[in-house]
Structure 1
């Protein structure tokens, strides 16, 4: 807290231009912001095995939820990330032996942090990374030959055109926003709507069947295979196509600038996840009774919330 700001508020209090309650809230807000920013990278212990090679872009695989997919996911990352440095993030050391073994097998860096705070671990990597551009992906994302390359190309084209952007993300098949583009590209809209419901783009995104019904996800995945052939169709029909998404968006696979996260002080960390909790949103430490407009808790909420603020500040 700058001394002149504190002095100014104290003077206003002494002159009775503000109330004691105003003054206390001013102090608490400043203290909260400072502590939260520090807490965003708070980890008790970090284990880092560095195999980076000084590439332009860093790819981060956030592991934890789906170890059953790691063999396939890691293999596809290895096959399609020749020009990128890859780091495996393992918050809490879950399935440590498998994560370390696969990281070594494919030549990926490995970063483990305790306690099991996946937001803090992501922030720690980002703040200490030498890469100016970072692509974050979850451990259930299956890359194709075009995924990383097209993400980077789209980012560079937007930058060259003078656009300031929060992040760039690809079309994902099981996603409550981009599933519409997936269906449209593969001429599946009519079939989908006959079987399930009208496909809607950027409206009611938590009330759609793609969000609520596992059978819908299964149906879309069945029509996504073989994955490499589907990727070829997308690359041909949607080549160099970019759309603006004016709603909250998934960060399951996302490209952003390191400076964006540095500007906002990192994604807002809600604290560690407790092992054994099937729904982390209902655990005591995440069930915070604050109006959601006050603080965006978690990685996805932070990325979406701060994207507009970042661009607004850059435009001033």
Structure 2
């Protein structure tokens, strides 16, 4: 806090132009912002195995809930990220041996941090990275031969056109915004709406079958495989097309600039995730609406919030396609479905 600002507010208080409550809130807000900015990268211990090669773009795989998919997800990243450095982020060291083994097998860098604070680990990597462009993806996202290439091409066209960029995303099949573009591109809108519901993405995610219903996720995936064949359709039908994202977006895979994260002070870290029990602050019985409105805790909330308030666009590269396995309510069902259909996820990349 600058001394002249503190002096100004103190003078106003002494002159009774503001109340004591105003003054206390002024102090608390600035203390909170200072502490939160520092906390955004707070980790007790970091283990980094560096295999980067100095590429311009860094791909980050955020591991966590889907170790069952890692061998396929990593394989597809390896096949389709030849011009990028890849780093595996493992907050809390979950399934450490498997994560380290696969990272070494595919030549990826590996970054582990404790405690299990996935937002702080992302911030730590980004703030210390030499990469100017970052592509973040979750561990249940399956790349295609056009995903990264067309995503980066779209970003470059937007940048050359003079847009400020929050992030650029591909069309993800199970995503409560881009599922609409998936259906539209593949001429599936009428069939989907006859079976499930009208495809409207400008409404709360909890009201959408694409977020809630595992049968919808399965139906979408049955029309997504083989992934590269589907990607060819997007590359052909939507070549160099870009759309604006008008609402909050689920950031299963996004491209953004390191400078944007530096500008906002990093994604707002909510703290470690607790394993084996429920975080009492996250139960429906507790009133968390007010704090969540005041502060955009989390990576997804932060990216959407700061993109909006700083008028940095959120964009979809309509010729870039990738698969996202499932949302939380669909997870267990879709993990079993993945196990039973695993071969279909690699048949398009076999030599």
TM bucket normalised to smaller = over 0.9
- Tell me: CA distance 1:26–1:204, structure 2 relative to 1, closer, same or farther (3 Å): closer
Aligned 1:96-245 pairs, distance under 5 A: 96-245=96-245
- Tell me: CA distance 1:229–1:186, structure 2 relative to 1, closer, same or farther (3 Å): same
- Tell me: CA distance 1:116–1:283, structure 2 relative to 1, closer, same or farther (3 Å): farther
- Tell me: CA distance 1:277–1:226, structure 2 relative to 1, closer, same or farther (3 Å): farther
Q: Secondary structure at the match of 2:187?
A: coil
Could you list the per-position Cα deviations for residues 163-185 of structure 1 after superposition, in whole angstroms to 9, with x for gaps in the alignment?
A: 11111001000011110110111
2:193–2:199 Cα contact (<8 Å) kept: yes
Instruction: State the distance in 2 between where 1:263 and 1:245 align.
Output: 21
Superposed displacement of residue 206, structure 1: 3.0
Count of aligned residue pairs for this structure pair: 315
Q: Secondary structure at the match of 2:244?
A: coil
Could you list the per-position Cα deviations for residues 4-36 of structure 1 after superposition, in whole angstroms to 9, with x for gaps in the alignment?
A: 000111111111111111111110000000000
Could you list the per-position Cα deviations for residues 98-152 of structure 1 after superposition, in whole angstroms to 9, with x for gaps in the alignment?
A: 0000000101000000000000000000110001100000000000010011110
1:176–1:206 Cα contact (<8 Å) kept: no
Instruction: State the distance in 2 between where 1:213 and 1:287 align.
Output: 26
Give TM-score scaled by structure 2 length.
0.85
2:281–2:288 Cα contact (<8 Å) kept: no
Q: Secondary structure at the match of 2:207?
A: coil
1:273–1:280 Cα contact (<8 Å) kept: no
Larger displacement relative to structure 2 (16-25 or 126-135): 16-25
Superposed displacement of residue 209, structure 1: 1.1
2:41–2:120 Cα contact (<8 Å) kept: yes
Superposed displacement of residue 277, structure 1: 3.9
1:74–1:102 Cα contact (<8 Å) kept: yes
1:91–1:114 Cα contact (<8 Å) kept: yes
2:76–2:144 Cα contact (<8 Å) kept: yes
2:133–2:258 Cα contact (<8 Å) kept: yes
Which of the pair is proportionally richer in strand? Answer: 2
Contiguous gaps of at least 5 residues in structure 2: 311-344
1:270–1:285 Cα contact (<8 Å) kept: no
Instruction: State the distance in 2 between where 1:280 and 1:167 align.
Output: 32
- Tell me: CA distance 1:204–1:42, structure 2 relative to 1, closer, same or farther (3 Å): closer
Superposed displacement of residue 285, structure 1: 14
Contiguous gaps of at least 5 residues in structure 1: none
Superposed displacement of residue 284, structure 1: 11
Instruction: State the distance in 1 between where 2:164 and 2:104 align.
Output: 37
CA RMSD of aligned residues (A): 5.9
